[in-house]
């Protein structure tokens, strides 16, 4: 046996020696060169150096026959390589089908497509900072920000892409829409146009992180995935079939963040440290930054009327920079879109139909001629109106001279109010807004019990996990057009309704909530919804019979009633006035419809629960802090409407 074992060992050594001298060749080439000569584009990946030596990964897709072509740049934290690699395909239009691209516009226009990872994300070097503050601010002591990175990128592109004409436009949506706005701070001379679509602008007042001080805890997963790794490798997980249960059982948003490891994110720690509208948020508000800049670059701001992520930003920037627009370079497009809806088929949103593909109209009739005029110096490109606004209800596009305005000429915004009344009535009057103080009648109010243990869902339960895959039941992108009947039947939601309209009522602009309200607690949230109630029967679309379509709605955290930068307890059982703007609308309430207002004190789990007992920082609220409260809404309360008056002609 020993001799046999020895013989086997010798044989094995001989075999291993022979293999070492003659290994089995690898079947993988050292470098694979794809046969791309038949492709209608050429793709290049380059590392563009910034002024501090950091290099940013940049993918350039060039139409094969391009000569003197303009460039369209998108800077992104969402993986540049994937954005221009939707499919392995020989056609440029096919590979650009992914997120935040307008392939039909790019290919028809013959544009060179450039997509770049921002510093610290995916293939780029450097450190990632969420919405990096401006250089030299108290929150960014360096000389580097997104403005300087964009300048350095355009400098390189204008000199190193021989197929181009040296002109650059910057375009993008959401975070990628925030970045074109920052590019307008000290813009490079080669930057000829900017198209910020549904941009992040003010994270506290009305975009991604807070709305009037109420924290959008649905974005905890985004904060985790976007910040804790360079390549978004970490994944948020759900522990319940119904998101309502997951957030409720965790307690506070701060506790759920701790359970999921979000506190490892530097950005999250900043959010927790700055729950009020202090200098941290104010110094980053892009509308405030751009209000101090001259308008030198033609800019097309794009706004979605049902944008579930960034419904505040585009309109805020328009209001901030239009007064500085001496040469008519600021344009606005408003459409019936959810977040990024203008990029695809936008003929409907949920069950609401618009009678045409509004996304295609935007791309062909607004975006394409705008780009052609300023990037190609194409005098034959039709000039677009200063404002193109889709009017919901009538489902018509309106070409306007300014915003807000109800028609091209001869119309005006008239003062009007929707006044709360007894017996759940809502009265539409032509009276001007009036200041609220003490209630006119002591007992003229309606009340409800707000119970943090049973917060009002923001949509019908079970609420699927936050996501964009409808095949998995993730219908988040269209929740703003959900039927609101589920809420109107609750005892902790007050509902007020007009009679049946006999004439159209058109609004253009921001409705403003004026509440006179009291709470038995020392803090409270107030949610106000403006709703279009369809007729009881709709023959052409029966499922819309009695449908309650939310036109504009928002939340306000009571502790910031006096000063958004400083939280303060509310005086219990004392009527106090609250005033806050709702998102922009451009809508006609049609004859046969009714107008409804709903008021409630939670919108869960979209926003974190208010304990209704004042604590210094709600992120640290303890279970005992969450208490029931009696909320009273006085009939002095009203909604100020931007009502469009009749033509003066």
Is residue 357 within 8 Å of 347, Cβ to Cβ? yes
Distances (CA, A) of 262 to 9, 230, 313, 325: 56, 15, 26, 42
CA-to-CA distance for 113 and 130, rounded, in angstroms?
Answer: 25
pLDDT at 649 over 70: no
Is residue 497 within 8 Å of 561, Cβ to Cβ? no
The reported pLDDT for the residue numbered 34 is: 82
Mean pLDDT of the chain: 94
For the stretch 562-590, pLDDT in tens is 999 999 999 999 999 999 999 999 999 99
pLDDT at 607 over 80: yes
**Residues ≥6 apart with Cβ < 8 Å to 531:** 484, 548, 549, 550, 551, 595, 596, 597, 598
Judge if 428 and 344 occupy the same domain.
no
* pLDDT band for position 647 (cuts 50, 70, 90): very low
Judge if 528 and 455 occupy the same domain.
yes
- The set of long-range contacts for 34-40, using a CB threshold of 8 Å and a minimum separation of 24, is 36/90, 38/90, 39/64, 39/90, 39/91, 39/92, 40/64, 40/90, 40/91, 40/92
Alpha helices by DSSP H, 163-229? 175-182, 220-227
- Which stretch, 181-190, 371-380, 434-443, has highest mean pLDDT? 181-190
| Number of domains forming the structure of the chain | 3
CA-closest candidate to residue 143, choices 135, 155, 151:
135
CA-to-CA distance for 172 and 507, rounded, in angstroms?
Answer: 29
Judge if 423 and 486 occupy the same domain.
yes
Judge if 246 and 374 occupy the same domain.
no
Identify the CATH number of the domain in which residue 226 sits: 1.10.3020.10
* pLDDT band for position 529 (cuts 50, 70, 90): very high
Looking at the domain assignment, is residue 300 inside a domain?
A: yes
Looking at the domain assignment, is residue 405 inside a domain?
A: no
Residue 367 zone, left/alpha/beta (φ > 0; ψ -120 to 50; rest):
alpha
Identify the CATH number of the domain in which residue 296 sits: 3.40.50.1820
Mean pLDDT in residue range 129-150: 97
Domain boundary (346, 375, 400) is at 400
Looking at the domain assignment, is residue 133 inside a domain?
A: yes
Judge if 181 and 217 occupy the same domain.
no
Judge if 419 and 391 occupy the same domain.
no
Distances (CA, A) of 629 to 451, 572, 632: 7, 10, 10
Judge if 172 and 310 occupy the same domain.
yes
pLDDT at 504 over 90: yes
Looking at the domain assignment, is residue 11 inside a domain?
A: no
The reported pLDDT for the residue numbered 628 is: 98
Judge if 190 and 312 occupy the same domain.
yes
Domain boundary (343, 368, 400) is at 400
CA 329 to chain centre: 24
pLDDT at 257 over 60: yes
Judge if 497 and 555 occupy the same domain.
yes
Residue 524: both structure tokens together:
């409270």
511 CB burial (10 A radius; 0-12, 13-18, 19+): buried
Q: How many CA atoms within 13 Å lie on the side-chain side of 323?
A: 9
pLDDT at 626 over 90: yes
Judge if 190 and 266 occupy the same domain.
no
Cβ count near 87 (within 10 Å): 11
Looking at the domain assignment, is residue 27 inside a domain?
A: no
Looking at the domain assignment, is residue 5 inside a domain?
A: no
For the stretch 198-250, pLDDT in tens is 999 999 999 999 999 999 999 999 999 999 999 999 999 999 999 999 999 99
Domain ranges, residue 229: 210-279
CA-to-CA distance for 580 and 427, rounded, in angstroms?
Answer: 20
Kindly list the strands in the beta sheet with 112-117, ordered across the sheet, starting from the edge strand earlier in the chain: 41-49, 55-63, 112-117, 69-76, 164-174, 191-199, 299-304, 330-335, 387-391, 396-400
Judge if 233 and 143 occupy the same domain.
no
Query: How many residues belong to the chain?
Result: 649
Judge if 186 and 235 occupy the same domain.
no
pLDDT over 90 percentage in the chain: 86
pLDDT at 282 over 60: yes
For the stretch 610-623, pLDDT in tens is 999 999 999 999 99
Reduce the DSSP state of residue 147 to 3 states and report it. Answer: helix
Looking at the domain assignment, is residue 589 inside a domain?
A: yes
The reported pLDDT for the residue numbered 646 is: 46
- Helix or strand (DSSP H, E) at 2: helix 2-21
* pTM attached to this predicted model: 0.94
The reported pLDDT for the residue numbered 3 is: 60
Domain boundary (249, 279, 309) is at 279
**Residues ≥6 apart with Cβ < 8 Å to 194:** 169, 170, 171, 180, 181, 183, 184, 297, 298, 299, 300
Identify the CATH number of the domain in which residue 537 sits: 2.60.120.260
Looking at the domain assignment, is residue 598 inside a domain?
A: yes
């Amino acid at each position: 046996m020993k001799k046999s074992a020895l013989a086997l060992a010798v044989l094995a050594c001989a075999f291993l020696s022979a293999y070492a001298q003659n290994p089995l060749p690898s079947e993988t080439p050292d470098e694979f060169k794809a046969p791309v000569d038949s492709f209608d584009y050429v793709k290049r990946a380059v590392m563009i150096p910034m002024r501090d030596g950091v290099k940013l990964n940049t993918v350039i897709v060039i139409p094969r026959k391009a000569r003197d072509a303009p460039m369209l740049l998108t800077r992104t934290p969402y993986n540049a390589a994937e954005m221009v690699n939707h499919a392995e395909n020989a056609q440029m239009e096919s590979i650009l089908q992914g997120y935040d691209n307008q392939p039909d516009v790019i290919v028809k226009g013959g544009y060179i497509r450039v997509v770049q990872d921002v510093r610290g994300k995916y293939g780029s070097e450097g450190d990632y900072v969420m919405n990096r503050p401006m250089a030299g601010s108290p929150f960014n002591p360096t000389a580097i920000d997104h403005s300087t990175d964009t300048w350095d990128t355009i400098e390189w592109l204008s000199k190193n892409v021989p197929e181009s004409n040296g002109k650059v436009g910057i375009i993008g949506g959401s975070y990628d829409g925030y970045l074109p706005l920052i590019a307008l701070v000290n813009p490079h001379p080669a930057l000829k146009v900017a198209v910020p679509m549904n941009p992040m602008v003010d994270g506290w007042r009305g975009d991604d992180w807070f709305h009037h001080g109420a924290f959008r805890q649905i974005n905890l997963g985004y904060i985790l995935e976007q910040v804790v790794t360079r390549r978004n490798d970490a994944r948020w997980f759900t522990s319940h079939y119904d998101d309502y249960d997951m957030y409720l059982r965790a307690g506070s948003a701060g506790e759920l963040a701790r359970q999921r490891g979000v506190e490892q994110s530097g950005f999250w720690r900043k959010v927790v440290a700055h729950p009020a509208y202090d200098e941290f948020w104010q110094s980053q508000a892009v509308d405030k930054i751009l209000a101090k800049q001259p308008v030198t670059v033609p800019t097309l701001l794009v706004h979605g009327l049902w944008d579930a992520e960034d419904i505040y930003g585009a309109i805020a920037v328009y209001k901030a920079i239009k007064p500085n627009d001496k040469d008519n370079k600021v344009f606005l497009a408003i459409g019936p879109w959810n977040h990024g809806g203008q990029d695809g088929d936008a003929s409907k949103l949920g069950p609401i139909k618009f009678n045409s593909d509004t996304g295609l109209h935007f791309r062909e009739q607004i975006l394409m001629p705008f780009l052609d005029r300023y990037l190609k110096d194409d005098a034959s490109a039709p000039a677009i109106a200063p404002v193109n606004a889709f009017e919901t209800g009538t489902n018509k596009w309106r070409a306007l001279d300014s915003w807000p305005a109800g028609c091209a000429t001869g119309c005006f915004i008239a003062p009007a109010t929707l006044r709360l009344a007894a017996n759940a009535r809502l009265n539409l009057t032509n009276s001007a807004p009036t200041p609220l103080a003490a209630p006119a009648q002591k007992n003229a109010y309606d009340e409800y019990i707000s119970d943090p243990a049973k917060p009002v869902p923001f949509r019908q339960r079970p609420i699927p996990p936050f996501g964009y895959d409808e095949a998995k039941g993730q219908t988040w992108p269209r929740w703003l057009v959900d039927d609101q009947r589920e809420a109107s039947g609750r005892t902790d939601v007050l509902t007020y309704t007009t009679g049946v309209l006999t004439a159209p009522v058109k609004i253009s602009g921001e409705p403003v909530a004026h509440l006179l309200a009291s709470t038995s607690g020392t803090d409270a949230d107030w949610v106000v919804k403006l709703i279009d109630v369809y007729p009881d029967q709709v023959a052409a679309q029966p499922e819309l019979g009695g449908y309650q379509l939310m036109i504009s709605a928002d939340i306000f955290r009571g502790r910031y009633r006096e000063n958004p930068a400083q939280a303060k307890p509310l005086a219990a059982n004392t009527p106090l006035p609250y005033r806050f703007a709702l998102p922009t609308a451009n809508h006609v309430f049609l004859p046969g419809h009714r107008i409804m207002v709903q008021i409630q004190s939670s919108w869960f789990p979209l926003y974190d629960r208010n304990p209704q007992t004042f604590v210094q920082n709600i992120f640290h609220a303890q279970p005992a802090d969450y208490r029931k409260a009696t909320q009273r809404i006085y009939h002095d309360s009203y909604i100020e409407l931007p009502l469009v008056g009749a033509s003066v002609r």
